[in-house]
Structures are given as structure tokens and as C-alpha cells.
Amino acid sequence: MQVTIQRREAPVPEPLEIEGQNRLCLEDLAVGRRFSSATHVIDAAQIKAFAGQFDPQPFHLDDETAKGTLFAGLAASGWHTAAITMRLLVESGLPLAGGIVGAGGEINWPKPTRPGDVLRVVSEIEQVTPSRSRPDRGTVRVRSETRNQRDEVVQVLIANLIVPRRATSQVPSELAAG
């Protein structure tokens, strides 16, 4: 007797729901809407590993040397903070349909990220603009503040993001005219 096992592929999630989380289209976003992410604890080993690979400066690599720098102690690379911010946004902080697709922005780091910091991201929609030339999308301007456990802002990211719209037949009339 021969047994045949048929493999069935797992169903592909609908684009507006990924891993049980609803993904938002342009029509779902309004100025002032806020989102908060989960948290990430950063330690000295993570800081040094990232710096060793991507930003090998003494204040990111060596505790003793870092004491004599502007940072007066070990500090994460701003790019490391940015990478953690992106992961937090993607996994839990900004559930956009189509992913987080950037179309420009600005970033700054008002305070250093230190070993032991517990980071989270708080984002707020600042502007929603349906595209006049591409009816399938629009842009949103989002201010995302990465904060530590003392609620100090360690990074500010203002990003212009491309966000898909629902099918034209499902778009409320006030947006379809945009």
C-alpha cells in the first residue's frame, strides 16, 4: 500500500490583514491619530556589535574610551537607534497596508541611547494627502518619537510614507475627489 501525502500551501494572508493584525489604508488614517509600539531593551553587547559592523567609532565600541568623549559614556549609534525604531514600527507600531515605504524625511537624535534603555516608538499622523495622479495611493507625514524608559526622546523621525488606498469603488467620495 502506497500512501501519498499532499502538501497544501498555507493560505496567503489578505493584504489588509497580516499575522492577525489589521493593516491600514490611507482612508483609515487621520491627522492626530497615534500609535504606540512594543518595547526593545538595548544592552552594551548589542551596541558594540552594531557599531563594530556599521559605525565603528570609539564612543560606540569601548566603555572607557567613551567616557572621554562628548557622550561621556557608551552610546548607541544613531543608526542603531534608527534600525531598532524601524523594527518596532514594522512589527508593532505602524500597521500600514503595503508596509512602511518611505518617500523622504528627516531624523535627529536629541539624546543618546544608552545600555539598559527600554525603547518604544510613539507615532502621530501629521498629514494625509491622497495622490491626484495615482488614485491607488497617497502619502502621509508621520512623526515618530523613539522614547526610553524615562520617556526621554532619543530619536525623532519625520517620515513621508506612501500608503495604498482601497479599491476606488470602496473609497469615500470626499477622498475620491482628491
Least confident span in 36-50, 62-76, 161-175: 161-175
Tens digit of each residue's pLDDT (9 = 90 or more) over 71-124: 999 999 999 999 999 999 999 999 999 899 999 999 999 999 999 999 999 999
Residue 134 banded pLDDT, cuts 50, 70, 90: very high
**Mean pLDDT taken over the chain:** 87
The pTM of the whole model exceeds 0.85 = no
Is residue 139 within 8 Å of 113, Cβ to Cβ? no
Whole-angstrom distance, CA of residue 178 vs CA of residue 176: 6
Is the per-residue pLDDT at 14 higher than 60? no
Report which of 135, 113, 138 is spatially closest to residue 125, judged by C-alpha positions. Answer: 138
**All 3 cell numbers of residue 112?**
543618546
Residue 55 banded pLDDT, cuts 50, 70, 90: very high
